[in-house]
Amino acid sequence: MKKAGRIHRPFQAQAFAFVMLCRFLADQFTAIGDSAVTAENIGSLEEAFNETLNALKAAEGAVSALQTFDVTNFTQNDVVQKFGKAESLIQETFKSFNLDAQWREKQAELHAALEKDIDRMAKLNDMFRKPQSRNSTTPKVKVTVSIHDKGGAHLSTASVEEESTIRLSALRWSVAGALDGQNIKRARTTGTFLRQTSGGLSEIPTTHETLADIANGNQQLNLTLVLS
């Protein structure tokens, strides 16, 4: 738990969730008694704990003083990948303890922790990017986003007015409210922004980071978001 206490954004919620899960497994191991302990139980538990510790060490050593976070590619982050490996080993440990029913509940808690970290990062991004003055003179851009499934089906259209300094990763969170269910999560973290050009729809280059870069002086912007 002390290790988790030294971990801050953007992995704090996941760190605490994994520590609590390991504590739950330790209690289960103690409860089964020495006579019921098997080599499989011990080996599986040790592997799960070791991998969780590796993930916690990676999270503790990660750069946490950044002003903004990459929400879109967060699940591909090296630390998140390590947490994912630990999750797989923990699941195997639950199976070795015949705790499949409890695992479904605990897995949901891990995924909720990931969503909490993503949500916290997006809010911090928005706070960092917006001017502190209430009377901001930063130009605003009216953005209409047509949201489609990867198969081409139109899901919704969102119209928002945002300051020209925000990035596409922040825009995702603004337009995700036009959707429902799992599509909200998909819009926040996955998919590609496109815009109309003379040759048809084309992906927006990664060098265009803010609405000002994309709008190029225009106050009205029409985009398409295709979810992955």
Residue 174 has pLDDT above 80, yes or no: yes
DSSP 68-80: S--STTGGGSHHH
**Which residues on neighbouring strands pair with residue 225, listed in sequence order?**
147, 193
Instruction: Give the separation between CA 138 and CA 215, rounded to whole angstroms.
Output: 14
- Six token digits for residue 206: 């990664």
pLDDT in tens, 131-167: 544 555 678 899 999 999 988 899 999 999 988 888 8
Residue 181 clears pLDDT 50, i.e. is over it: yes
Structure tokens at 153: 């089906």
Query: Does residue 130 carry a pLDDT above 60?
Result: no
Query: Which pLDDT score is estimated for 168?
Result: 84
Q: How far apart are CA 37 and CA 15, in angstroms?
A: 28
User: What are 10-59's pLDDT values in tens digits?
Assistant: 788 888 999 999 999 989 888 876 656 676 778 888 999 999 999 888 88
**Cβ contacts of 8 within 8 Å, gap of 6 or more:** 64
In the prediction, which pLDDT does 207 show?
72
pLDDT for the residue 159:
92
Q: Where do we find the tokens 């995700």? A: 176
Looking at the chain, the whole-number percentage of residues with pLDDT higher than 70 is 80
- pLDDT grade, residue 102 (50/70/90)? very high
Mean confidence (pLDDT) of the chain: 81
Q: How many CA atoms lie within 13 A of 197 on its CB side?
A: 10
The C-alpha atoms of residue 172 and residue 150 are separated, in whole angstroms, by: 16
Among 92, 80, 7, 78, smallest CA distance to 46 is for 92
